[in-house]
Structure 1
Amino acid sequence: MGLSSEISVLLLLFLTGLLISMVDSTTPGCRLINEEDGKDVPDDDHKGYNKLKPLVGKRFSTIDVEKEYRYSVGICRDAVDGYKNVGVLQESLKDKRRHVIGLYNSTQIMSGNDWVMIEYWHGEKYHTHCNKEEKKAVIIIICDPSADDENGVDILDEAKAKIGDCYYLFEISHKAVCGIKSSSKALSFGSIVLIIFASVVALYLFLGFLYQRFVLHAKGMEQIPNYSFWQDFGNLEADGCNLVCRSMSNRNSAPYKGIGDEQLEEDLDRDRDDHLLPM
């Protein structure tokens, strides 16, 4: 009797865990299309859903410009009580007829740094438009640091004037999807060159210092690698600048002398000294 009771308890725990795993999916509230098909959910969908979590469970509503329809939008919840799994519901203001635009248990989510896009699929079929395909709602939630739940939702377009892939386009501005923008920018080529140059100079000074101190046993300023060269470096630069940049020469040009002038001067000097010779 004791063994059978233990088996019953284990079986009950197993069934409970299985039920929890079925209810608590990887994306509670919204059920992604890939989950319906038993496929792996892309990382982008998980990332978008995590960004959407602050808005999950909220409801928004709006009336179109023509004042014909009211649209109720639920973020991963029933847009209106009594309509299970309906993410977007359209209601005629004239006859109060309602139409399902999209289901949140057939969802696709995409996101960027400051936006999230939700697609609710498997709505009611069109009667004449879009090749009688199922309706679909596309909800774009954009970042607005000053916007909250009171801003509501706007319907931007009903793209039904085509053969297929029709949709209702909604926009919500909300601060919940505002990402943290990085102020850092990629380093330019010049910055990379300067960093490499500074690293090479630092390595040269460090290794040179160690060599001068511990191998050559230098002291004081002599520990600086190639100290004698750096002492003369300023003079070498000045000499180079003087040679390349200055056009005037400090040397005085020699006076012009004709051919044989040297011999003539020697003869004149000899004549001047003749009277000094003894007779």
Structure 2
Amino acid sequence: MIPSRFPRTVAAPHSLLVTTLLLLLCLTSVASAASDKKSKPLEPCTVRSPSSNAFFDLNQIAKRPATDKDLEKHKDDAEPYEAKSWHARGYDYNANFTLNFCAPVVEGLRDVEGVDERLWTNVTGYYEKGGRTYSIGTLNTEPVFRGRKLVLNYTEGSPCPGSSPSFLDRSHDGVRRKSSILSLHCEKDPLAPKAHISFVGSMDECTYFFEVRTLAACAGVESANESLSPGGVFGVIALIAVLVYIVGGCVYQRHVLNQRGWRQLPNYALWAGIGSALKDCLIILTSSCSRFFPSRRSYSRVAVNGYGRGRNGQSDAENRLIDQLDEEWDD
């Protein structure tokens, strides 16, 4: 009976393959979990749909105060350049509205009805009527989803006129204040403006409804929250592949081929051959370079059988030594 080459405890090759695959999945899960922990929080005025996980960024339609770059770009215009917020016509409300997204209105406001002076620079929507300025909401950078509708709310505006405040509608100071609701809809027409705001209506001059059609309300790509660059992702994949190669190879060499020591490494013969080749190259390189250095030994002091006195003696001794070396080489 021929004895078995391997012990009975040897694992089958397919079992080792399964073990290696499980190790790869575990390492991938760990890398993914580490990446999730390092992911950045959402930027202001961005939101992710809870139903489709689509990403939306309203910062692209925010109006900002004029910069030196803007002034330089419009320096040849007939009229001086002036940054303006978004406008919506009020029609039967007898007033037009000025609004902004993700930032206060760029127009400098003064004497806003019922709003503390320190909050004038935080107004995000207003209208003027009867020579007075009324706020319809202050800055809010947290859009929300109500079902599949993307909505942005502005609150804490000017006090509502002549209505008794209810408990639910009161603000922090106990006064019922104006607020706005903006419903944002996707507009994919490339010729349409970046944002078009339509006034829908008002409830007792206290809550204002607007519809906004803009490309910013269309699902986009969340590039700002990438925790790893493409190079980093490639590096993680390469590291996992190397670990699987080493660990899986060592398991196979140890349990299937019954190797021990350094021979457990996968492709040990290949790596050992590369090491020997590098060693030989180093020896050849050092031997080639040694001839450029002065020799410490010479035949000038060699004397054989009493010869070597004077120049003729040295020459004879050298010749005898060379002949002797030649004979030994021939033997």
Higher relative contact order (CA 8 A, sep 6+): 2
Would you call these one fold, judging by a TM-score over 0.5?
no
Question: Looking at CA atoms only, which structure, 1 or 2, has the larger radius of gyration?
Answer: 1
